[in-house]
Amino acid sequence: MSSDRYVVRAGSPLSGTVQISGMTKNAGLKQMAAALLAPGETVIHNLTPVDDLGVMVSLLEAIGVEITPRAQDSLSLRVPDQLIPEAPYELVSRMRASINVLGPLLARSGRARVALPGGDNIGSRKLNLHFHGLEALGVELRVEHGFIEASCRSLNGARVVLEYPSVGATETIMTAAVLAKGETVIENAAREPEICDLVKFLNGMGAHISGAGTSTLIIEGVSALVPAEHTIIGDRIEAGTLMMACAAAGGDITIKGISLSDLEMVGRKLGELGVTVTEVADGIRTKRSERLTACDVQTLPYPGFSTDFMPLIVAALATADGTAIVTENIFEHRFAFVDELHRMGADVRTEGRHAVVRGVARLSGAPVRAFDVRAGAALVIAGLTADGETTVLDPHHAERGYADLAGKLRSVGADVERLT
C-alpha cells in the first residue's frame, strides 16, 4: 500500500491571497477532446497538471493526436486528417471525461468504438441521455463486451429534450451536432460555466452555437471547423474548496481569477452559515470570525448547489453550531466519506440521500482515507478543525482534480503537507 498522504494540523485562521488554477478537470479535458473536431494545431492555455490530464493526453495520442507542451500551462494538439476512432479500455476506465471523445469521433469519422468510462465511484452515471441525443441525430448505437459501438452515415440536426440537465450528455450531443446537417436544439441543457466555456471554444473553431448559460442551446451545423487557440476558465471548484476551507478554519482570504457569479449559490450558503462573501476586483473575498451556524443544504443542477461541494460543506458543518440536514440529489453513493469523518469524531448520520449533521465543538485528528476527488479535499478541510494531526491517505484521488491542494492551502496559512 502507498504511504502517500496529506498531513493536516489545525492552526491560525487562514489569511492572504491566492490565484486560482485553470479548470483542467471539468473544462480543459472536455476542450482537448473537442479539438478532435478540426484537423490541424489547436492550442489550449491555462491547463494545470492534475492527474486526469495525463490520462486524456494518453487517450488522444492513442486516437492519433500529437501533443506537445507549448509553455508551462499550455498544450499544442496536432490533430490528423484521419483519426483512429477507438478509445481503449485501459485509458477510458480511469476517467469519466473519456466519454467526451464519442461525439467528436462520430462527427469526424462517422464511427466510434469507446470503452465504457470509469471515474469516481460516487453513484450511477448512466449514458442513456448521451445515447438518446445521439440517436436523435442519426447515430446507431449498441454496447457489446464493455464497448460503445457507434456509427452513422450522416448526422442530421434534431430537437433533443434531456430528461435531466446532464453536463456530459449536453457536451456529447453538442460536439456531434456542430458538424451535423441543419439545426439541433437541446432543451433542458446543462448551464454550468464549463458548458459556456466549451461553447466559446467551439465557436472559436467556427461553430454556430447560441444560448450558452440558458437551458436551450441552438446549434447550426457547419461543414467543417478550424483549429483554435483558447484559454480555459478558472477552476470554480478549487475556488469553492478554498472558500469552504476558510469557512471551516476561520480567517480572511481573497481568491483571484474567479467571479462570484460562477459561485453564487456557494456564496449564499456560506452567508447562511455566517461567512461574509463579497466580490472584489478579479476575485472573491471570504471572511469568517465567529463559529458557523448550521443550515440545511441540498444539491441541485447548476445554478443550484453543486454536488461537488457537498462533501466540503459537510466537513465545515461538522463543527458548526446546531444541526443541519444535507440532501444529495445527484449521486446516491456520495456519502461514503462520512465514515471517515466519524473517525474524527464528527456526528453525522446518513439515511438514503440525506445526512443529519450535528455540529461538535472540535474534531479529533485521525488517520482517514480518501475515496474520490472531493471527499479527499473534504477530509483535508476537516483536518483544519481537528485537534492533533490528521493523515489523509490515498491523496491520488484528490490529485485527479487538484494540481496542488496542499500548496494552495499553505499559501493562505494552513498547516498542510503532501508527503510521500
Positions marked active-site: 120
Cell of 52: 486526469
Q: Is 250 helix (H, G, I), strand (E, B) or coil?
A: coil
What span, in angstroms and rounded, lies between the C-alpha atoms of 292 and 272?
9
What span, in angstroms and rounded, lies between the C-alpha atoms of 104 and 98?
12
CB 236 within 8 A of CB 247: no
Q: Which residues of 47-76 are buried (b: 16+ CB within 10 A; e: fewer)?
A: bbebbbbebbbebbebbebebeeeeebbbb
Say which DSSP state 22 is in: B
Q: What are the Cα distances from residue 273, in Å, to 16, 142, 211, 270, 313?
A: 21, 48, 34, 5, 10
Q: Which of 97, 88, 158, 160 is nearest to 125 (CA)?
A: 97
* Residue labelled with grid coordinates 492519433: 64
What span, in angstroms and rounded, lies between the C-alpha atoms of 19 and 177?
36
209 residue type, one letter: I
Q: Which of 97, 143, 138, 412 is nearest to 283 (CA)?
A: 412
Q: Which of 371, 372, 370, 377 is nearest to 406 (CA)?
A: 377
